[in-house]
Amino acid sequence: MKPSLLKYFVVLLLAGFLLGMSRPASQSDQQPLPRLSAYGFFEGPLAAQRPAKGVVPYDLRSPLFTDYASKLRFVVVPEGKQVRYHGQEVLDFPAGTTIIKTFFYPHDARKPEKGRRLLETRLLIREESGWKALSYHWNEEQTDAVLELAGASTEVRWTDESGKKWKFQYLMPNVNQCKGCHSWDGAMRPIGPSARQLNGSLQQGGPTQLRQWADAGFLHGLPEDHAAIPTIAKWDQPETGSLDARARAWLDINCGHCHNPHGPASTSGLFLDIHQTDPAVIGVNKPPVAAGRGSGNLDYDIVPGHPDKSILYYRVNSADPGIMMPEVGRVLIHEEAVDLIRAWIQEMEG
Amino acid sequence: MKFLPIFLLLLPIGLSAQQVDEAFRKQLQNQLILAEPGDTIDIPAGTFLLGSSLSLDEKKDVVIRGAGMDQSILSFRKQQDGAEGLRITNSSNITVMDLTVQDAAGDCIKAMNTDGISFVRVRTEWTGKPDKNNGSYGLYPVSCQRVLIDGCEAIGASDAGIYVGQSHLVVVKNSKAYHNVAGIEIENTTMADVFDCEAYDNTGGILVFDLPDLPKAKGGNVRVFRNHVHNNNYRNFAPKGNIVGTVPPGTGVLILATDGVEVFDNRIHNNITVGAGVISYYMTETPIQDKDYDPYPNAIYLHDNDFARKATRPTLKNKIGLLLLTKFGKNVPDILYDGIPDPASLDANGEFLADQTICIRNNGSATFANLDAANDFQGLSQDLTPHDCTRSALNPTELGMGNP
């Protein structure tokens, strides 16, 4: 422990230099900074999350569920470097890239003027040797966020759009748990920013984010033909896709990062990423492998027409840590998605 | 009224025993995250209540050491977060020793994608009566290479106490498993030795399984020897849907679909339903979708084991048990073969090809039955002649790592 404390002092000194710079420094294989403010990602009060020059906000079509938390997403690509387009997997970000995600809850979603509480800001930093994940926990005063490796939990209270009052323990993962999801052949990598997820615009009627990135000069290889760029349904917006397309979109982002041939759940043989087409591989009449009590006394992952006989439905509809799927990243049940999965299995033909 | 103050004094003590020790968890998790090659992380004596999983990732040459199996106890009774007690991933040469992990929400200790993982004098247990709500696996290395499990104890798992899945080069020795559904299970694993272990009071003692739909499709070269496998007559408390849920209570050693298994020099005593069974996946009555899957056990050698069994009824909780009761009453045969041969393992005369034989020899006075399950049990036979052969011994497994 002691040598690393020493590292932090060195890092604090370094942070001073960084603060003086107009554009946030690229994060190349340096020690993590102890405070979020030190990176210079934002202008003005840190809690306002106003991106500095070179920090690009972005959004996903079907995001991962994290206990109904709202998320702000940004990416910083080092000046003069380019992201390489990829049709299927996440885009290939150059060394020095930082992906920034801030988790928050509005105090009252019906009254945005009442403000919000920022809980944590996670950084995914692309070093020469690979990706690294860090989590910064916001202080009570909302003036800064502090690096925390070992994770923590905090009580959250907020009121949603319907006026429902929530109170629960929000969990902030330790850095190893980050990799429980962010893993590809054992190495860390981002989950969200794939072409299909970024193939939408931030403003209604505007160009897609991919097109904006390409026009700004930091995305290389985007096909000119828009039809050649994959897209994914927004799981909660029926006009964006069929029931099947929306259920698969939800499974892709919530399950497919682990349940794919390269993910931590590869040993299960159950693959839920969007690219799978074989019904057996997505769980239809597939017996579980190591589900234990996660099986819920059921025989198959999916029984077409019978959500109540389907282990997949049983596990997304649970908040018991020994049963639920995904197995980290939430303490609540994603009720609306559970309804979607239920309808999807119900309509499935055997 | 005069007792009230004493009651109030005791109350805070009672409550503090229920609370998770978050400061301890944070410190230990920080140590795990910051560990450098060569580090030993010491866990002091005491019982520590943890609310979320501990994890070690991408580390090399790290030892996690308690003060003794009975001294350092990590209890996950109040777990809110994470499915395992301790999770070890993408690492090499990791040793966990001299501690107990208790009552995890899912598995007690899971190791994955790790080359060189040793568990030495580690106990995993679910306390209280065995229950279907207990976690699945006690010690659970999966997709690992060079696995050593030595001097460990596994208790109360609703699936397998010691479960090695989809791994290569495995030694399980001097270990004890009881009150699990499966005591020790070796699944889709190549080059594994299980010896000098005691498996008792489980539903099934030692299982060697190959299952379909898995990335590592085939196990093999598994040796089970010098073990004491006795009284595995515990009720099957696995949640339905799990393959071990099909194991009949009263099973000693069971080989399911794996090719290349040698079982010898074991004492297999008082397992009321099956002393040793050699069966195909068809016996689970689960449909097979995996087109590349081989559901038949071939190249099996059971020899020099000591079987003993008191005259008693087999389990009545299972179809096979009921069948055995009808055919044999209280004198159930020690060794069972389901009699569903792999068509590809037979020659034109219906005899096993030399490299595919199922040989059963020198097991003292052990009795045998071929269930002829392929023909609805019509041709059930106790003739051992077709299996009276020898096979060459399988190669021992060398881990190539020193004992810590």
B residues 230..269 contacting A (CB < 8 A): 239-243
Are B143 and A267 an interchain contact pair (Cβ–Cβ within 8 Å)?
Answer: yes
How far is the CA of A300 from the CAs of A266, A268, B290, in angstroms? 18, 13, 14
Q: What is the mean pLDDT of residues B132-137?
A: 92
Residues of B in contact with A176 (CB under 8 A): 32-33, 55-57, 87, 89
Can you tell me whether residue A316 is helix, strand or coil? helix
How far is the CA of B49 from the CAs of B25, B101, B210, in angstroms? 9, 10, 37
pLDDT at B289: 82
DSSP string over B278-292: EE-GGGGT-----TT
Q: Tokens standing for A207? A: 């160009």
Are B241 and A1 an interchain contact pair (Cβ–Cβ within 8 Å)?
Answer: no
Q: What is the mean pLDDT of residues A224-228?
A: 94
Q: What is the mean pLDDT of residues A257-267?
A: 90
Q: Please, what is the average pLDDT of chain A?
A: 90
Residue B9 pLDDT exceeds 80: no
Residues of A in contact with B240 (CB under 8 A): 295, 297-299
Sole residue written with tokens 């079982």: B263
Residue A139 pLDDT exceeds 50: yes
**Residue A200 carries which side chain, given as an amino acid letter?**
G
Are A176 and B33 an interchain contact pair (Cβ–Cβ within 8 Å)?
Answer: yes
Can you tell me whether residue A262 is helix, strand or coil? coil
pLDDT at B7: 44
Interface check B41 vs A, CB under 8 A: no
Q: What is the mean pLDDT of residues B186-206?
A: 98
Q: What is the mean pLDDT of residues B282-300?
A: 91
Q: Tokens standing for A304? A: 């077409």
- Asked whether A299 and A283 are in contact (CB, 8 A), the reply is no
Size of interface A-B (CB pairs under 8 A): 155
Residues of B in contact with A184 (CB under 8 A): none
- Asked whether B72 and B24 are in contact (CB, 8 A), the reply is no
Write the CB contacts of A200 (distance below 8 Å, at least 6 apart in sequence). Answer: A59, A61, A208, A209, A231
E strand or H helix at A102:
strand A98-106
Are B82 and A300 an interchain contact pair (Cβ–Cβ within 8 Å)?
Answer: no
**Residue B230 carries which side chain, given as an amino acid letter?**
H
Q: Please, what is the average pLDDT of chain B?
A: 93
Residues of A in contact with B30 (CB under 8 A): 1, 149-150
Are A328 and B112 an interchain contact pair (Cβ–Cβ within 8 Å)?
Answer: no
Can you tell me whether residue B28 is helix, strand or coil? helix
pLDDT at B194: 98
* Percent over 90 (pLDDT), chain B: 84
Residue A157 pLDDT exceeds 90: yes
pLDDT at A318: 95
Residue A295 pLDDT exceeds 90: no
- Asked whether B323 and B377 are in contact (CB, 8 A), the reply is yes
Mutate: best of B213, B237, B282, partner A, most A CBs <10 A: B213
Q: What is the largest CA-CA distance in chain B?
A: 91
CA dihedral B152, B154, B160, B164 (to 10 degrees): -20
* CA-closest candidate to residue B403, choices B75, B150, B103, B212: B150
Å between B384 CA and nearest CA of chain A: 34
Q: Tokens standing for A340? A: 């979607």
Tell me the pTM.
0.85
Interface check A48 vs B, CB under 8 A: no
Q: What is the mean pLDDT of residues B192-211?
A: 98
Nearest CA in chain B to A323: B106
B residues 334..353 contacting A (CB < 8 A): none
Can you tell me whether residue A333 is helix, strand or coil? coil
- pLDDT tens, residue by residue, B168-183: 999 999 999 999 999 9
Radius of gyration in angstroms for the set of CA atoms belonging to chain B, rounded to a whole number = 23
CA distance A87 to B125: 47
- Judged by phi (left if over 0) then psi (alpha if -120 to 50, else beta), residue A158 lies in beta
Write the CB contacts of B322 (distance below 8 Å, at least 6 apart in sequence). Answer: B316
- pLDDT tens, residue by residue, B323-355: 999 999 999 999 999 999 999 999 998 889 989
* CA-closest candidate to residue B277, choices B375, B355, B370, B179: B370
Interface check B38 vs A, CB under 8 A: no
A residues 181..220 contacting B (CB < 8 A): 183, 186-187
A residues 240..269 contacting B (CB < 8 A): 261, 264, 266-267, 269
Q: For B20, how many CA atoms within 13 A lie in the half-sphere containing its CB?
A: 17
Interface check A150 vs B, CB under 8 A: yes
* CA-closest candidate to residue B367, choices B268, B234, B279, B301: B268
Q: What is the largest CA-CA distance in chain A?
A: 63
- pLDDT tens, residue by residue, A162-211: 999 999 999 999 988 888 788 888 889 999 999 999 999 988 889 999 99
What is the separation, in whole angstroms, between the first and last Cα of chain A?
57
How far is the CA of B31 from the CAs of A16, A327, B55, in angstroms? 28, 23, 10
- Asked whether B343 and B355 are in contact (CB, 8 A), the reply is no
Report DSSP state, residue A194.
B
| ipTM of predicted complex | 0.75
pLDDT at A23: 56
Are A285 and B239 an interchain contact pair (Cβ–Cβ within 8 Å)?
Answer: no
Q: For A148, how many CA atoms within 13 A lie in the half-sphere containing its CB?
A: 22
* CA-closest candidate to residue B382, choices B347, B340, B334: B334
Identify each DSSP E strand in B45-166 by its residue range: 46-49, 52-57, 60-65, 72-75, 81-89, 92-102, 107-112, 115-125, 137-142, 145-150, 153-155, 160-165
- Asked whether A31 and A9 are in contact (CB, 8 A), the reply is no
pLDDT at B10: 42
pLDDT-derived band at A29 (thresholds 50, 70, 90) equals low
**Residue A219 carries which side chain, given as an amino acid letter?**
L
